[in-house]
Amino acid sequence: MTTQLSTAELQATEALLQGYGPAQPALATLHQHQGDLESSLEDLVSAAAAAAVYGEDRKTLRQVLLANLRREVCGDDSFRERVEEYNKNPTKAALLTGLIVYVVDLIALPWMSPAIATVAVLWVLKIGLRTFCDYTEPGEV
């Protein structure tokens, strides 16, 4: 399953989020990892958790975030409706930033940030909400 934004997808996302300052660290990290959502999420979560984590610990932090994200968004009709609305109008920056802010407010992790939410939302949009909710990585509970 591809969890990497193409160059065109990354450029389109940058154009949409150019006026949204809290997403800029996410975009910089995505560039650093050539659009790789998993690697970008690991870096952002590790930095936000204020821990020098390496190897498996980085993956564990990402898995904690994804487990919390799945638990909160997969049964949330309002989030689903927002995703559907964005998918109908993917050029509306307000819809994308609205999804990001909604995720920040929804996820109860002390290190949740708009940058992390940006990458998480892009991940959900890239693979689709249904696939995201059904997909479980090896080793995840």
Residue 62 scores a pLDDT above 80:
no
Residue 67: predicted pLDDT: 86
pLDDT, one tens digit per residue, over 18-46 is 999 999 999 999 999 999 998 998 888 87
- The 3-state DSSP composition of the chain as helix, strand, coil percent (nearest 5) reads 70, 0, 30
pLDDT, one tens digit per residue, over 106-120 is 987 777 899 999 999
